[in-house]
Amino acid sequence: MYKREAAEVIKNINETFRVLLVTGPRQVGKTTLLLALKPDNMEYVTLDDEVLRNQAINDPKLFLEEHPAPLLIDEAQYAPNLFSYIKIYVDKEKKNGMYWLTGSQQFHLMKNVSESLAGRVGIVNLNSFMYSELMENDDKILFDPLNLKKAEKINVNDLFEFIYKGGMPALYDTPNINNNIYYQGYIDTYIARDVMKINNVKSFKKFIVSVASRTGEQLNYTSLAQDSGISVPTAKAWLSILVSSGLVYLLEPYMSSELKRLTHIPKIIFMDTGLACYLAGWQSAKELQLSSNAGHYLETYIVSEIVKAYNARGIQPNLSYYRDKEKIEIDLIFYMNNKLYPFEIKKTSLPNEGMIKHFKVLEKTKKDIGVGGLICCYDNLMHLDEKNYIIPISSVINARGK
């Protein structure tokens, strides 16, 4: 079993909160991780079991009496009435680590949790494997503009193999598994269990393909709707499902009162590039690597790896991108310490200062501009100019603390 970076924050939450909630897409390893970490005296129940699910829905008080804390409840979103009764129990006992919950439908689950367990629950959003977890880097540090580190080189061909395969645990835990068969089953399961209320399954599948094909690009509801044969309002509703279930992350545009001609459109980031590649119909890593879409998938991979890493520490990173009406663009901006830290992401091993020329547009924001750089396929971490760095991709996704 690969070690998950989220393990440490889960242990901390167990010691400091009465309830732990681990959310995230299906099949990313939530249950596997919690079963490996749970105390010996903690019972495990899954609401995938129809009998248990019906009892939890229809008589949540009796369910919790028959399954006393400490208790791990898998797929807790199926019985939202449980949360108010869990609140009663944890307020009475006042012990940390009483209940561990998992759930795959983030929006509905988070709504119920926020209403019932506010102040009593610590939340971790788990994603598919990160590169550093697959490399068994036990000393991984977060990508931090103020703490850039050298890291082991990643061959560009190997990198695109990882991008193409993605990070779903089953692809690494099961020998000789067929990626296409796995992903087809994944989509069928996702639709059957997480988006059951959608009647037009055929159009929804077309919609997911259209979104995946546009990863790394600006969101365009009209184009998504046209591709799928649906209305724009339906496209908006369906995208919100993909976002709430953790399959898609929207990289928001940078907004500033000093700049009047900024785009208000987010970028689509598919959180698992392997699933995106399957949906978009890519037949091999090499085909993707040599295509005109390679840059979009590389950008998607870098941003998703950063988001995954922060999620694993229980942190919400303040990320955005810059684009204005003149199509001047900066791929990624960190906002920390009241400063802007700009980064470009390029599939190049020949970096030059011209690739970060747009950074100067941020001077109009009247905010301090911090360290930035060019994230690329170059081998060494070094200065590009006085303030900005050439940053190997490995320094973003696999840097060590030492």
Q: What is the pLDDT of residues 323-339, one digit of tens each?
A: 988 889 999 999 998 89
Instruction: Read off the pLDDT of residues 357-381 as tens digits, 9 standing for 90 and up.
Output: 999 999 888 889 999 999 999 999 9
The pLDDT assigned to 109 comes to 67
> What CATH class is the domain 7-125?
alpha beta
The pLDDT assigned to 190 comes to 84
Matching residue, tokens 């009247």 = 366
The pLDDT assigned to 325 comes to 85
Query: Residue 258 above 70 pLDDT?
Result: no
CB 360 within 8 A of CB 331: no
Q: Rounded to an integer, what distance in angstroms lies between the CA atom of residue 346 and that of residue 357?
A: 13
Q: Tell me the β-bridge partners of 375.
A: 345, 391
Start-to-end Cα distance in the chain: 24
CB 162 within 8 A of CB 300: no
Write the burial class of residue 335 (CB in 10 Å: 0-12 exposed, 13-18 middle, 19+ buried): middle
- Amino acid in position 107: F
- Amino acid in position 262: L
Q: Quick one: average pLDDT of 191-200?
A: 72
Query: Residue 299 above 70 pLDDT?
Result: yes
Q: Nearest Cα to 389, choosing from 89, 175, 147, 180?
A: 147
Q: Cβ contacts of residue 276 below 8 Å, gap of 6+?
A: 166, 212, 215, 270, 297, 300
Residue 364 carries which DSSP code?
G
Instruction: Read off the pLDDT of residues 383-396 as tens digits, 9 standing for 90 and up.
Output: 999 999 999 999 99
Please indicate, yes or no, whether the overall pTM of this predicted structure exceeds 0.75. yes
Helices (H), 117-166: 131-134, 156-165
Query: For the chain, which residues make up each domain, given as ranges?
Result: 7-125, 131-397
More confident residue, 327 or 109: 327
Cα separation values, 318 from 18, 339, 340, Å: 28, 11, 10
Q: Cβ contacts of residue 58 below 8 Å, gap of 6+?
A: none
Instruction: Read off the pLDDT of residues 114-160 as tens digits, 9 standing for 90 and up.
Output: 677 888 999 999 999 999 999 999 899 999 999 999 999 999 999 99
Structure tokens at 56: 């939890």
Q: Rounded to an integer, what distance in angstroms lies between the CA atom of residue 217 and that of residue 202?
A: 24
Q: Cβ contacts of residue 399 below 8 Å, gap of 6+?
A: 140, 141, 143, 148, 149, 150, 151
pLDDT class of 260 with cuts at 50, 70, 90: low
R_g over Cα of the chain: 22
Instruction: Read off the pLDDT of residues 215-249 as tens digits, 9 standing for 90 and up.
Output: 999 999 999 999 999 999 999 999 998 998 899 99
Instruction: Read off the pLDDT of residues 9-41 as tens digits, 9 standing for 90 and up.
Output: 999 999 999 999 999 999 999 999 999 999 999
Orientation of helix 201-213 relative to helix 232-244, angle to 10°: 70
Query: Residue 401 above 90 pLDDT?
Result: no
Q: Rounded to an integer, what distance in angstroms lies between the CA atom of residue 73 and that of residue 21?
A: 10
Write the burial class of residue 124 (CB in 10 Å: 0-12 exposed, 13-18 middle, 19+ buried): buried
Mean pLDDT, the chain, as a whole number? 92
